[in-house]
Amino acid sequence: MLGNENSKSQVLVDMAEKNTRYEKLVHVYHRELYRFAYWLCRDPDIAEDLVQETFLRAWRSLDSLLDQKAAKPWLLTILRRENARRFERKQFDYSDVENDTLVDEKSVTLDDEMEQTVIQRQIAKLPDEYREPLLLQVVMGCSGEEIAEILDLNKNTVMTRLYRARNQLKEALSRDDEQLKGASN
């Protein structure tokens, strides 16, 4: 009977440790995951659902996270897969209404807000293979190695995609700039 009591107390200790690890993950990464999820889906409710589902899956497989330094790429990978599952599960109704844009509330002038909106729209127009690495780098602050791990790609491939994404974004923004200059003349 003493052995049974020891095993029960060990289970409680293990659960408490797992709960503490989990709470730390949520505390540290919730805001970053939400920000990335919002960039992926452009809907605050869906973004929150994605983050909740990500943390639910993280809880279920928390024991598989052996290296705490890998937590961020691990969680981002789960979130990306959850976002992909969203399209497998649901057929969307399409409309002609343009997606909401993410607005930086710290912008001081209307010109700053317009510039940010134009940049966000151009980023959204990039193909997924270029948009995702760029968002992971710019929005999430991931390194090339982390992006390679998250996207399951070679680091050189990631760096090439980042380079191409920046170039495509620069070209699109300069085209927009030229169009604006032509329209004002």
In-domain check, residue 99: no
CATH code of 59's domain: 1.10.1740.10
What pLDDT score does 120 carry?
Answer: 82
Confidence of residue 25 (pLDDT cuts 50, 70, 90): confident
Q: Of 91, 107, 126, which residue sits at a domain end? A: 91
Q: What would the two tokens of residue 91 be?
A: 């057929």
Residue 104 near residue 116 (C-beta atoms within 8 A): yes
Question: Where a domain ends, among 44, 76, 91?
Answer: 91
Task: Please check whether residues 120 and 80 belong to one and the same domain.
Answer: no
- At 22, list the tokens: 């989990």
Is 5 contained in some domain? Answer: no
Q: Look up the pTM and report it.
A: 0.56
The answer to whether residues 82 and 57 touch, using CB atoms and an 8 Å cutoff, is: yes
Taking Cα atoms as reference points, which of 35, 84, 75 lies closest to residue 57? Answer: 75
- Alpha-carbon distances, residue 22 vs 35, 58, 61 (angstroms): 19, 8, 11
Find tokens 């940049």 and name the residue: 119
**Rounded (5°) CA angle 58-127-137:** 50
Distance separating alpha carbons of residues 181 and 63, to the nearest angstrom: 57
We report the CATH number of the domain holding residue 132 as 1.10.10.10
Residue 49 pLDDT: 93
Across the range 57-68, mean pLDDT stands at: 82
Higher pLDDT, 174 or 94: 174
Give a yes or no: residue 149 inside a domain.
yes
Domain span at 60: 10-91
Gap between the terminal Cα atoms of the chain: 89
- Position 175 pLDDT exceeds 50: yes
Residues 26 and 86 in one domain: yes
Say if 103 falls within a structural domain.
Answer: no
* pLDDT 10s digits, 99-158: 555 554 554 566 666 777 778 888 888 898 998 898 888 888 888 888 998 888 999 999
Tally the domains of the chain. 2
Mean pLDDT value across the chain = 79
Q: Let me know whether 120 and 87 are in one domain.
A: no
Task: Report the C-alpha gap between 159 and 113 in whole angstroms.
Answer: 29
pLDDT in tens, 45-55: 999 999 999 99
> Are 87 and 19 found together in one domain?
yes
**Residues 19, 68: one domain?**
yes
* Domain presence at residue 102: no
| Closest to 154 measured CA to CA, from 133, 125, 135, 183 | 133
Residue 3 lies in a domain: no
Q: What is the predicted pLDDT for the residue at 53?
A: 92
Q: Tell me what pLDDT residue 177 has.
A: 66
